[in-house]
Each structure stands twice: as C-alpha cells, then as structure tokens.
C-alpha cells in the first residue's frame, strides 16, 4: 500500500499528469472517495499527462466519456448511477477493459468484483485542501506511482 498526501487541487492534478507518463494501454485505475474527494481532478491530470487537450468533467449523460488526442485514449467512467455489476455487464462496458487505452473509473466500488487483476486502486479522503491517497497496486505499478508522487512534489507517508 502506498499512502501520500496532496495539499491542493493543482498538486492532485500534477500527480495525475506525472502518473500518466508511465501508463500503458489496458491500464485500469479505480477511484473511490466521497463527493468532492478529487476523483475528477485526478482524472483531469491524467488526461493532460496523456496529451489530451480536452476539458475533463464528470460524465453526466453517459457512464463513460472517451478522450482522444493524446498518447493513448482515455476512457473516463462514472459508475455512480449504476445499480450494480450486472448493469455494467449488460451495457457491455467491461469491453473497455480490453481496449488499447487507459480506463479511469470513479465510484469503482460499485463494480469492484469486475475489476481486472492488475488494477490500480486509489481511495481519496480528506477535507480543506488536503487529500490523502491510499493506493493498492501490483509491484509493476508501484515504482511509477511513487515516482509520480515525488515528481508532483507530494509527500509519501510511511
Ligand atoms: N488536494 C486536493 N486535491 C483535489 N481536489 C481538491 C484538493 N483540495 C481541494 N480540492 C477541491 O475538491 C474538489 C474535488 O472535486 P472533484 O470533482 O474532483 O471530486 P470528485 O471526487 O470527482 O467528486 P464527485 O464524486 O462528485 O464526482 C474540487 O472543488 C477541488 O478544488
Ligand atoms: Mg467526479
């Protein structure tokens, strides 16, 4: 488990930007945390780091937004309005996990059982302008995540 803190929305975005540099097609990032935790803020940084110039906002009318124009496609999910994993599967949304792009999923706990084995899970908590990120991932991703934290000027916690 990697734990770190950011102290501003800009720093969260910068972390996403740094992390994006090491992401590969097929990577899935699963985000949990309350309303206003910073899931979209982080996703915006990832989109920018992949090279997309689109403005990222939470998907409102669909479950997933696709962003093009960067090094890899970004598939940005918000599963808040899904009733459960069956709903996700019935809509064929799991197909995105096999596409050559990066998936970022807000409210991923709703589809927890469907997430691929090599998922990067991040839970965001905090208030004011401080956010704590708790990150669970395989060894393959852990160095890249730690590097991104350091490059964003954020603090790794023991
Ligand atoms: N360190 C920080 N990191 C990220 N956001 C922060 C931080 N400090 C303050 N904020 C503020 O918290 C809010 C995060 O909003 P954001 O839309 O990213 O949350 P969210 O987790 O996507 O919420 P929702 O579940 O409603 O989609 C923004 O208003 C942002 O300015
Ligand atoms: Mg959001």
pLDDT in tens, 76-88: 999 999 999 999 9
Mutation probe of ligand 1 site: the residue of 11, 31, 41 with most atoms within 8 A of C-beta: 41
Q: Rounded mean pLDDT of 28-46?
A: 97
**Each residue of 40-52: pLDDT tens digit?**
999 999 999 999 9
Query: Which H or E element spans position 85?
Result: helix 85-90
pLDDT at residue 58 in the model: 83
How far, in Å, from the CA of 40 to the mean position of ligand 1?
A: 7
CB 17 within 8 A of CB 6: no
Residue among 64, 79, 74 nearest 32 (CA): 79
Atom of ligand 1 nearest to the CA of 130: 1
* For the chain, percent of residues with pLDDT exceeding 70: 100
pLDDT value at 59 more than 80: no
This model's pTM is above 0.85? yes
| Residues within a 6 A CB radius of ligand 1 | 6-9, 12, 33, 35-41, 58, 106, 129, 131
CB 2 within 8 A of CB 145: yes
Atom of ligand 1 nearest to the CA of 8: 1
**Each residue of 90-120: pLDDT tens digit?**
999 999 999 999 999 999 999 999 999 999 9
CATH, domain range 2-153: 3.40.50.300
**DSSP label at residue 41:** H
Retrieve residue 21's tokens.
């540099």
CB 26 within 8 A of CB 111: no
Delimit the domains of the chain by residue range: 2-153
Q: Rounded mean pLDDT of 36-61?
A: 93
Query: Which H or E element spans position 105?
Result: strand 101-106
Atom of ligand 1 nearest to the CA of 129: 8
């Amino acid at each position: 488990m990697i734990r770190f803190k950011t102290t501003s929305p800009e720093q969260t975005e910068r972390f996403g930007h740094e992390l994006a540099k090491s992401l590969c097609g097929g990577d899935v990032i699963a985000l949990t945390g309350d309303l206003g935790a910073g899931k979209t803020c982080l996703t915006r940084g990832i989109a920018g780091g992949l090279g997309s110039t689109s403005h990222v906002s939470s998907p409102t009318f669909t479950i997933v937004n696709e962003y093009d124009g960067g090094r890899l496609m970004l598939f940005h999910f918000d599963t808040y309005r899904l009733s459960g994993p069956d709903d996700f599967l019935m809509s064929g949304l799991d197909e995105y996990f096999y596409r050559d792009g990066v998936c970022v999923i807000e409210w991923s706990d709703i589809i927890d059982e469907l997430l691929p084995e090599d998922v990067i899970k991040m839970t965001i908590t905090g208030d004011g302008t401080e956010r704590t990120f708790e990150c669970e991932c395989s060894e393959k991703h852990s160095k890249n995540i730690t590097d991104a934290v350091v490059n964003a000027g954020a603090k790794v916690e023991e």
